[in-house]
Amino acid sequence: MNPAAVARTAGVVALLAVAAAVPLASNVTLTHVGVFVLMYVGATLAWNIFSGYTGYISLGAAVFFGCGMYTVAIITKHLNLAGGVVFALFPVGAVVAGLVAVPFGLIALRVRRHTFVVVTIAIFFIFQLMASNFSFTGGSAGILPPFLNWDPNTFDEPFYYTALLVAVAAGVLAWLIWGSRFGLQLRAIRDDEDRARGLGVRAMRVKLAAFVISAVIIGFLGGLYFYFQQEALPEFAFNPFFDLTIALMAFIGGFGTLWGPVLGALLLEPYLGYAQLQISNSYLAEVVLGAVFLAVILFLPRGILPTVGEMITKWRAARARRAATPADGHPPEVAAAAGSGATGGGGVR
Amino acid sequence: MTALLRTDGVSKAFGGVQALDGCSIEVARGSIAGLIGPNGSGKTTLFNMITGYGRVDSGDVYLNDTKITNLAPDKVFALGIGRTFQLTRVFSRLTVMENMIVAAHHKERAGRPGGGRVRNPFARAGGPATRRRAMELLEFTGIARLAGDRAETLSYGQRKLLELSYVLIADPEIILLDEPAGGVNPTLIGTIADRIRELNRQGTTFLIVEHNMEFVMGLCDQVTVLDYGNAVVSGPPDVIRNDRRVLDAYLGTAEADDDSPAA
Amino acid sequence: MGSRLFQALADGVLGGGVYGLMAVGLTLIFGVLDIINIAQGILVVLGSYLSFVLATHLHINVFLGLLITIPAMFILGIAIQWFFIRPLRGRERTSMSLLASYSVAIIIEGVLYQVFGSNFKQIPTSYFNSTVQVFGYYIPYIYLLGFALAVLFVVAIYLLLYRTQFGRSVRATMQDHTAARLVGIDVNRVAAVTFGIGVAVTAAGGMVYGSINAFNPNSGYDLISRLLAIIILGGMGSIAGALAASVIMITLESMVDVFWNPSWSVVVFYAVLVLVLVFRPQGLFGRREARAQ
C-alpha cells in the first residue's frame, strides 16, 4: 500500500476511535450534541448518495425522516413499548421510508431537474399536511412514546453509538458505491444523462435505486430521532430546515464528492447543535443559516474539499513547473491520478 | 454488396422547417462513407434519426435489412451503431478511463450469462478485461497517458479522440462520426484520418459528416451530398467533386457562379 | 346548494386571479432567468407586511400604498438578483439559484419574525368589511378589486412583453440567452429587470392576500408551495399556463373546502399536482422538452 493510502486509513481509524470515545468523557452536553452531529453525518452522506452523485437536488429528504419517525412512534405507542426494544423498530422505520421512496421516486424522477426539486418540495408539504391532519399520526399534537425511565446521565449513550454505527455504515456504503459500476453510472447521469442513456445506462432504475438507498438510511435516523427526542411532531418530523441543512452541509464540504458531506456535517452541526441549545431566539439562527448558505454558494460553490483539492493541485503544478528545465519546451503535465498506468503512445497535444 | 446501413425516404420536420425530405442513403459494408452538404441540409438530423435521438415523421432506417426506425438510442447502440457528436459529449467530471468504462458496461452486462440483472451491484467499475481493452483503445487513439485525468481538462481535440475511443469500446459494426475534424488542429486531423483508415481495415464501417472537403475527399470511398433534406447525388469523391449539383448546393444557382471564387 | 357552489366558484376564480398574479411573476422569472425563485412566497408576505405598516401606521389607503410598495419591491427584486443570483455560474446554476433563493427566503423570514413577531396580522381595510351582494351571496369588495388588480397587472405584463421593445428583448432572452446577446440585448439588464417585475407583482399580491387572510412570517411556506405547484401544473415558463392553473387549482381547492372538508383541501391541491405530473410531466401548457440537464 502506498504511503498516502496508509495515512488515509490511519486517519480514518483515529477519527473513529475519537468518535467512539466521546461518551466516555461523561459530558452530557457533548454527547447530546454528538448524537446530532452523527445523525447529520449519516443523513448528509445518505442524501449525497442520491443528490450528490446524480446531481438531482432533492429537498424532500425530510419525507423519509418523518416517515421513519412516525412509523416508530406509531408502533411504539400502539404496542406500548419502552426501552431498548424500540431500537429494534428503527429498521422498520427505514423499510417504510424505503417503500415510500419507490412511488415517490417513480413520479418525481420522470421530470427535468428543476421540476424535480420542486416536486420533492410539493411532496414534502403533502406529507407534512397529512401528518398534521390524520388522527393516527396524532394530528398536530403528535405522538408521545410510553414512559421511559432511563438514567438521564447516560440516556444519550445508546443513541450516540447507534448514530455512530449508522454514520459509519453510510460512509462505507457511500465509498462502496462510489467506486462501483452503479456509482459510475450515477455520476455519468449527473454529467450527461441523455448520453448515458444512449450508452445503455438504465437511468430510471439506477436513480431510483440510489433514491431508495438514501431514503432507507434517512428513515432509520428518523426513527432514532423520535426516540431520542421522545416525541413525534409534524413540524419537526417534516421540517424544511432539515433538508436545507443537509444540503448546506453537503455543499460546504463539497457537493457530489465522497467525503465532502462528512466534512460539512462535522463543521456545521456542532455550531448548529450548540446554537439550538444556547440561542433561544431561533429566528436569529434562521438568518444566520441563510446567510452562511448564501456565502457558501457565492464564494465557495464547489465546497471545501474540491476547492482545497484544486489549490493543492495548482500548488503542486506550480512547484513542478519551477523545477522543470525551461529548454524542455513543453510545460510538464499535472501529475495524473494514481493508478492510471498510462503508457502514453503517440502523445497528441 | 448489400448495404449495411440504409435509410429509405426519411422525413422529419421541426415546426415549419422540413429538415429531412424523403432522404434515402446507403452505406456499403466495409466502406468509409462521407455525408456532405451545406449548413441546414439535414446531416445531423439524419444522424439523429438513425441513432434514435428523435422520431422520424415518415420513412425507415435499416441495419442489415432489419428495420430499426425509431428505436431508442441505447437499443441502437446495442445493435452495433456507434455515434459521436458535433459538440463532444463526454462525461466531464469522470476520468478518461471512467468514461471508457461507462461505455463498456453495457457490453459487460450483455456478456453475462444471466442477462440483464447485475449480480453484484457493488462490483468495482470495470473489470480487468474492460480496463485492458480500454487502455488498448486509448493507446490507439493516442490519449492513453490522460487516462487518469478528468475529461473536462482535455482539449477539444483530445475530447474528440476520447469520444471516438469510447464509441469503439463497444465494438460497433458501423460508426457515425459527426464532424470529427471540426475545430481540430491539422496534425490531429491527420491522426484521426489514420485511425479511421486503420479501423476500417479491421472491418469497421464509417459514415462521416464533415465540412472539411480535403478530409472527406481524401478519406472516403463514397460520398453522398445532402441538400434541403434530400440526397442529391452519391458517388466516389472524384465524381462528386466535379458534379454541378454539388456546386449548386453549396454555392447557389449556376448563373451566379461566374464571378464567385472557386469552391 | 346553488349558492354554496356559487360561493365556491366565486372564491375560487377571484382567489385564483390573485394567485395567478403572483404565479405569473414566478413563471416569468423562470422563463427568462431559468431559475426558481423560492423566495417568492416570503416576498408576498413581505408585501403584506409593508402594506400593513402603511395602512396601520400611516393610514394610507391600501391601493394608494401600492404606489410605494410596488417600486420598493421592484428595487428589492433587482437587488436580490444582482447580488445573489447573477454571480452564480457553472453548470448547476439552476440548482444553486434555487438554494440561493431559499437562503434569501429564510433570511427575510427571520428578519420579519424579529421585527413583527409571530402573531398573526391582517391588513385592516374597509374593502374587506364592505361587501357587494351578488346572487344572494355577499362578496367583499376586496375580492373583486383584487381580481381587477390582478387582471390589470397581467394585461400590463402582457402589453409589456408583446408591445414594447423591452418586451421583445425579454422574449428573446427567454428563447436563447446566447442568441439574444448576439443581437445586442443586454441579457444581464433584462434578467435584473425581469426579476424586479416578478417581485414587484408580489407587492400587489401581498396587499390583497394580507387583506383577506391573517398572516405571519410562516405563511410564506404555504404560499410558495402553492405557487410552485401552480406553475408546474401550468407548465414552467408559460404565463397563460400560470393563470389557467391558478384559477383551476384555487377553484378546485375552494370546492373541496366547501363541499368536503377544509383541512383536506390543501392536500388535494398537491395530490392533483402529483397526478398531473404522472400523466403529463410538462404540465398543462408546457412543451415536452427533450430531456436536457
Please, is C40 exposed, middle or buried when counting C-beta atoms within 10 Å of its C-beta (0-12, 13-18, 19+)?
Answer: buried
Q: Between vectors from CA B74 to CA B181 and to CA B130, what angle results, nearest 5°?
A: 75
* Closest Cα in chain A, distance from residue B233 (Å): 31
- Output the pLDDT for position B111: 46
**Which candidate from A188, A340, A342 shows the least CB-CB separation from B94?**
A188
Residues of A in contact with C95 (CB under 8 A): 55, 57, 113-114, 117
Name the residue facing A191 among B93, B138, B188 (closest C-beta).
Answer: B93
Q: Do B74 and A179 touch (CB under 8 A)?
A: no
Contact C20/C263 with Cβ under 8 angstroms?
no
Cβ atoms B208, B216 nearer than 8 A: yes
Phi, psi of B87 (to 5 degrees): -95, 105
Contact A287 C273 (CB under 8 A): no
Chain C: nearest CA to A44, how far in angstroms?
16
Nearest to A133 among C99, C232, C263 (CB): C263
Question: Which tens digit of pLDDT belongs to each residue from A224-283?
Answer: 999 998 888 887 888 877 888 888 888 888 888 888 888 888 888 877 766 665 555 667
Q: Which element (helix H / strand E) includes B7?
A: strand B3-14
Q: How confident is the model at residue A347 (pLDDT cuts 50, 70, 90)?
A: very low
CA of A209: which chain B residue's CA is closest? B121
Residue of A nearest to C229 (CA): A122
Write down the pLDDT at residue C73. Answer: 94
pLDDT above 80 for B1: no
- Mean pLDDT (chain B) is 83
Residues of A in contact with C90 (CB under 8 A): 301
Q: Tell me if C106 and A284 make a contact (CB, 8 A cut-off).
A: no
Is the model's pLDDT at B254 over the cut of 70?
no
- Digit-coded pLDDT (tens) for A58-69: 988 999 999 999
Check pLDDT > 80 for residue B115. no
* Band (A199; pLDDT cuts 50, 70, 90): confident
pLDDT score recorded for residue A277: 59
Q: Does residue C75 sit at the A interface (CB-CB below 8 Å)?
A: no
The whole-number pLDDT of residue C134 equals 72
Q: What tens digit of pLDDT does each residue of B230-253 get?
A: 888 888 988 888 888 777 777 665
| Residue C194 and residue C33 in contact, taking contact as beta carbons nearer than 8 Å | yes
Q: What are A110-160's pLDDT values in tens digits?
A: 887 877 887 888 888 888 878 877 777 777 788 888 888 888 777 888 899
Chains in contact with chain C (at least 3 beta-carbon pairs closer than 8 A)? A
Suggest the residue from B122, B158, B160, B178 to mutate for an interface test with chain A (most A CBs closer than 10 A): B122
Per-residue pLDDT, averaged over B23-42, amounts to 89
What's the pLDDT score for residue A134?
A: 77
Residue B57 above 50 pLDDT?
yes
CA pair distance B33, B240, nearest whole angstrom: 13
Nearest to C267 among A117, A130, A284 (CB): A130
Of A16-25, B49-58, C114-123, the least confident: A16-25
Span A290-320, pLDDT tens digits: 888 888 888 877 778 888 888 888 888 888 8
Q: Which residue of B has its CA nearest to A187?
A: B94
pTM: 0.82
pLDDT-derived band at A174, boundaries 50, 70, 90: very high
Size of interface A-C (CB pairs under 8 A): 131
Q: How distant is the Cα of B121 from the closest Cα of chain A, in angstroms?
A: 6
pLDDT recorded at residue A274: 66
Distance separating alpha carbons of residues B93 and B99, to the nearest angstrom: 9
Q: Above 90 in pLDDT, residue A101?
A: yes
Q: Do A198 and B148 touch (CB under 8 A)?
A: no
pLDDT at B114: 41
Interface ipTM: 0.78
CB contact under 8 Å between A283 and C270, yes or no, is no
Q: Residue B256 CB: number of other CB atoms within 10 A? A: 10
Average pLDDT, rounded, for chain A: 82
Counting as low any pLDDT under 70, the low residues of chain C are 1-2, 90-91, 136, 286-293
In tens, the pLDDT along A151-173 reads 877 788 889 999 999 999 999 99
B256 pLDDT more than 50: no
A330 near B CB under 8 A: no
In whole angstroms, what is the distance from residue A248 CA to residue C246 CA? Answer: 32
Rounded Cα–Cα distance for residues C266 and A175 (Å): 41
